[in-house]
Amino acid sequence: MLGRIFKAYDVRGTVPDMLNEAMAWQIGYGVSKFLLQDAAEAGETAPMMRNIVVGRDMRLSSPGLAKALIQGIRDHGGDVVDVGMVDTSFIYFAVNHLDCAGGVQVTASHNPPNYNGFKVSKRKAKPVGETTGLAEVRKHAAMVDKATLVKAHGRHEERDLWADYAKHVRRFLTLGRPLKVVIDASNGMAGTMIPRVFGKLTPKDAGGPAKFEIIEVNFENSKGVFAHEPNPLVASNMKQTQEAVLKHKADVGFCYDGDADRCMAVDEKGHIVGCDHLTALLAKHFLAQEGGGKVAYDLRSTKAVEEEITKAGGHPVRGRVGHVFMKQALADHGCVFGGELSGHFYFRDNFNADSGAIAMAVLLSILSGQSKKLSELIRPIARYAQSGEVNFQIEDKDGAIAAIKKELGPGSRENAAIDELDGVTLDCFASRGWWANIRKSNTEPLLRLNAEAKDKATLDKVVAMLAPRLGHKVDH
């Protein structure tokens, strides 16, 4: 049973058929055993290295799962710091703020309300995925026998860290001119986080003379239902944000996912801002502050990201898709900032971790600090034609990729350069005006295509050329 809910980056499944409180206890035990061993192997012997932060989202199943998880941690011997109902990025802050062995957030992020799960972090809030500890957690959880276990009675402490968290996030916010801001909380954790972090903002807190007005959309999060799927990557879920921006003549709109660790922006015209375009804009902000530096970006991003970073005096670091790899890229290269196409934004001064709240604070600072509208700032960055991520169903994924490399790679008519940092990227942007990345789904017979060209006509030709080789196009 446990094997079905352990994914590449977290634990997730429907409640109670795939995930229940008995399993949450097992996972708590497994998490404690892994995190305490990890700290010990790293030579960490301080008493707080037995502390594990636990938080939860607003789902109706979260309190029960959190209670069972906490008991499992304590029965192994871990000490629990229970921070209550918080957004996922709060956990990353708390683990570092309290210098703990790690943390767990009970959440299913953007999934429907009948789902739940666990996101696990270790020391310094480094992510725990399949290859970085989650397989060990699963093994420990599967092997424990609750009936025969000699319980260790770890400590359980409740802590309110909202004031410290708010102060940390507000460090990234400097306001000049007044702003009107629409926020769609998607009936998720942003409905709790935004009022606690930004709701009583004063000019002194913001580092500037002006407040900003927040227009709340879908902030109610106590009923366990969503007005729309809490996934801002799906365009239809952005409609309420877009409509509210136009109705209220707002400067900008934000739509958060369920656990509020990522958000997407809408400009004053009601247009969705691509997360790669936002990466480029935020990168320029940090590079100007730092006088240079390195910025990591998701390899599916527009070529304009690399170009804008270089133009701003920075050094672009092209990274693999996924928060495990992005956080590692920031740490390995000393990057000041990083951005992913999925809406995750990473900050050196946030322990290299992602934060939807900080991403919003930085964009508000950019807009408030000058007179240009968001659409005016994005327009020169959005200079190339993009396909977006297109999914194709095919059984022989490896065969299709091998054929494409042979037909379109070096020595072919297209003569595309090839790299395999993540999937396969074909690049003949300088010579023929296009590039494309093709990645395999880990769990489904799907290939995912992201293509870009210097103009729409070239993009259409490229997609038409690649599509028959990739399988049957699906909406996914």
Please list the active-site residues: 109
Q: Are 312 and 283 in contact (CB under 8 A)?
A: yes
3-state secondary structure of 123: helix
Instruction: Select from 31, 133, 52, 132 the least CA-distant residue to 99.
Output: 52
Which one, of 276, 52, 400, 285, lies nearest residue 265 by Cα? 276
The answer to whether 226 and 219 have CB atoms below 8 angstroms apart is no
**Residue written as token pair 């229940």:** 20
- Rounded CA gap, 355 and 342, in Å? 13
Which helix H or strand E contains 276, and what residues bound it?
helix 275-290
Region label for 167, one of left (φ > 0), alpha (ψ between -120 and 50) or beta (otherwise): alpha
- Tokens found for residue 38: 């990890």
Query: Rounded to whole angstroms, how far apart are CA atoms 274 and 343?
Result: 9
CA distances from 69 to 96, 240, 390 (A): 21, 36, 38
* DSSP strand pairing (115-122 vs 11-14): antiparallel
Terminal C-alpha separation, the chain = 26
C-alpha–C-alpha distance, residues 230 and 188, integer Å: 7
